[in-house]
Structure 1
Amino acid sequence: MYELNGIAIWSLQALAIDFAIIIALFVSLKFIKGWVSNLHANDEITERDNFAFGISFAGGLAALAIVLTGVSSGSFAPSLSQEALLMGGYGLLAIVLIKLGHFFQDKVALPKVSLHSEIAKGNTTASLIDFGHVVSVAVVIRSALLWVATEGWHGLPIVIAAFIIANIALLLVSQYRVQLFKRTNRSGDCLQQAIVDGNLAVGVRYAGFLIGSALAVTAASGIAPYAADNLLVSLTSWALSALVSLVVFILLHLLTIKIILAGCDISDEVNRQKNVGVATISAAISFAIGISMATLLGA
């Protein structure tokens, strides 16, 4: 086989095909985003200067890129046509799963607010929530792809099953944040009203916590072994590990933020005073704990 600086020419051809498909998927996402939102992407970005739409669209691009790192991991397919089919097929599946997970999080976790409508109005807080939803969904899809140690299409049902389990776990996280907001907010408003009111600090904190939680869920991929000959046990172990990881994440987050922001009424600063600085620190702590768990425990 011909080589160029130690790299097989065939591998370079496969890489070229993968990059071409990845770029095509990124471009297609623009049109899919506009179609799903019933908005023209160019008009929203350039004519209306809709900052919120731009953040939401950027979240979709970041989410797709995250999932594609899971799709493109491992060895190449036996032939270039198979490589193109796998990359394109899994890429399209990734878009579908991201949209499904996104829809699930929006409609079930936050049923009293239409994020799409708020984003169309230019609500930046809604776009940050949207960003957190799609990126967190992408993180768990990537985790499932890497966890299933099966090449080709054989691991697809397990990936979908793990995706469903992970989305239920993320829904629990969302409900935890909703209930926590209700309990700690002195004015009596709910989280969804804060989104409609455009409380940017709430959006930053919520999105950061959700992404951190998703990263913590990926720790399950390292804790629960994948056994192709006993899929039920594998999925059960993965689900339990994901739940335990979430509990550990929440406890570590509470402990860490209380130490770092000692003497600060975090809920009041974020919910009532709309302090974006405090919210950003909280989001950074969520991300730091999540990525640490993913690195130390994940696959």
Structure 2
Amino acid sequence: MEKIFALGDINSQELLILAAEIFIAILLLALMRYLYGLSMGVSTKEQLAKVDNFAFGISMAGSIGGLGIVLTGAITPNLNGGVGRELVNMFSYGLLGLLLLYIGRFVHDRWALHLVDKRQQIAKKNITMGIIDASSVIASAIIIREMLLWVDGLNAFAIIAMISAFAVAQTLLTIVTRIRERHYAKHNQLDSLQEALVDGQIALSLRYSGQVISTALAVTAASYFLDYHPDTIVENLIGWLVFGFLMTLVMWVLTSIAKRIILRGIDLETEVDHQHNIGVASIEMAISIGIALMLTTLLA
């Protein structure tokens, strides 16, 4: 209730800043739609309203949602910097976040799922690939948001620190993909996880999405242990790698225990890998993300 009454104390300048930041955020979200269509080499209107490409829509939804997550790290509650400064910061952070989102998508396509032409699969209306692409962007957005909150200001040192930490996080996400590929091959007569995704196995995409997003949440927990210092870039890089790996390991252990308890009596490999049980895969996804959220909340 106190926060509600406190809204009455906001002056006209502060209201102007808040309104302008929201307006800039909406403009950036709209810009994301057209940039996404440009990057795919297609018309978003045609894909969404004429071709009815659901995979394209899911993928674009992930991009817009991801940018929205990033902008929550760009919108600042500090209203004492003046209208001009606050709006420049908001726009600059938003553009930086948008750029990093595209870098994250490029890295995921070239490193993690390097055997798949994701753009081609989405053009073919492969919903599985739409889900995978959306989850990878959301995972990158979670990491970018935490880095925006972690650094102090927007300068050359902050950008270098963010890019370094982002590279570490993307490396860990790629390692997770490789581990999941080995696990899938082990339980499926050496079949390829990436080929299964190309074949449109939605259950696998949901499980994989939960693992990618939960890993991103676990990696961001590194920021709770590290204080940002512009003159210790190498230390920051090592710190993100060490704590990101440890938090990912802890999250995996807790998630494995939770799945054994919650889904007791259910053969997950049979249900998801062989029978393509979307329901069970959805529960796995929820457990992974839920455990990661609780872990990061406890550490915050």
TM-score, shorter chain, exceeding 0.5:
yes
* 8 Å CA contact retained: 2:165, 2:236: no
Which position in structure 2 is the counterpart of 1:278?
Answer: 280
Report if aligned partners of 1:185, 1:268 keep a CA contact under 8 Å in 2: no
Q: Is the 8 A contact 1:216 1:246 kept in 2?
A: yes
Given that 1:64 and 1:95 are in contact with CA atoms closer than 8 Å, whether structure 2 keeps it comes out as yes
Cα drift, residue 38 of structure 1: 0.8
Same amino acid, percent of matched pairs: 36
1:36 aligns with 2:35: no
Alpha-carbon contact 2:161-2:230 (below 8 Å) kept? no
2:66 aligned counterpart, secondary structure: helix
Corresponding position of 1:291: 293
- Output the CA distance in 2 between the equivalents of 1:53 and 1:152: 33
Unaligned ranges ≥5, structure 2: 1-5
- Residue 235 of structure 1 is matched in structure 2 by 237
Contact 2:259 2:284 (C-alpha < 8 Å) held by counterparts: yes
Instruction: Give the counterpart of 2:223 among 198, 221, 224.
Output: 221
Q: Helix, strand or coil for the counterpart of 1:264?
A: coil
| 2:86 equivalent to 1:83 | yes
Q: 2:247 aligns with which of 223, 241, 245?
A: 245
The structural deviation recorded for 1:4 is 7.9
Higher mean Cα deviation, 276-285 or 289-298?
Answer: 289-298
Q: Specify the code of the residue in structure 1 equivalent to 2:207.
A: R
2:96 corresponding residue in structure 1: 93
Query: For the residues of structure 2 that align with 1:138 and 1:77, how far apart are their CA atoms?
Result: 27
1:136 aligned onto 2:139: yes
Could you say which residue in structure 1 is the equivalent of 2:3? none
Letter aligned with residue 175 of structure 1: R
Structure 2 CA distance for aligned equivalents of residues 182 and 224 of structure 1: 37
Q: Give the Cα–Cα distance (whole angstroms) in 1 for the partners of residues 243 and 233 of structure 2.
A: 15
Q: Is the 8 A contact 1:98 1:137 kept in 2?
A: yes
Matches of 2:244 and 2:210, distance apart in 1 = 18
- Note the C-alpha offset of 1:232: 3.0
Moved more, 151-160 or 238-247: 151-160
Q: TM-score of the superposition, structure 1-length normalised? A: 0.93
**Deviation string, structure 1 residues 216-259 (Cα, Å, up to 9, x no partner):** 11111112233445343233223211110011111111121122
The answer to whether residue 178 in structure 2 is matched with residue 175 in structure 1 is yes
* Distance change >3 Å, CA 108–CA 152, structure 1 → 2: closer
Instruction: Indicate the SS of the match to 2:276.
Output: coil
Work out whether 1:206 is the aligned partner of 2:177. Answer: no
Supply the distance in 2 between the matched residues of 1:5 and 1:77 (Cα, whole angstroms).
17
- Post-superposition, which runs of at least 4 consecutive aligned residues in structure 1 deviate over 6 A? none
Give the equivalent residue in structure 2 for 1:25: 28
2:12 pairs with 1:9: yes
CA distance in 2, matches of 1:100, 1:47: 29
Amino acid at match of 1:171: T
Is 2:161–2:236's contact at 8 Å kept on the other side of the alignment? no
Alignment check: 8 A CA contact 1:220 1:297 kept: no
Superposed CA deviations along residues 11-53 of structure 1, whole A, max 9, x for unmatched, are: 1111122111111101111110100011111111111111111
- What residue in structure 2 maps to residue 151 of structure 1? 153
Amino acid at match of 1:230: T
Distance 1:99 1:200 in 2: 24
3-state DSSP class of the match of 1:105? helix
Name the CA distance, whole Å, in 2 between partners of 1:229 and 1:144: 16
1:161 aligns with 2:164: yes
1:61 alignment partner in structure 2: 64
For 1:62-88, what per-residue CA distance to the aligned partner results, in whole angstroms no more than 9, with x for missing partners? 100111111113524623222222111
Q: CA RMSD in A?
A: 1.7
Amino acid at match of 1:121: K
Letter of the aligned partner of 1:222 in structure 2? Y
The number of equivalent residue pairs is 294
Structure 1 residues 74 and 18: alpha-carbon distance in aligned structure 2, compared to 1, 3 A threshold: same
Q: Compared with structure 1, are the counterparts of its residues 272 and 73 closer, same or farther at alpha carbon in structure 2 (3 Å cutoff)?
A: same
| Stretches of structure 1 lacking an aligned partner (at least 5 in a row) | none
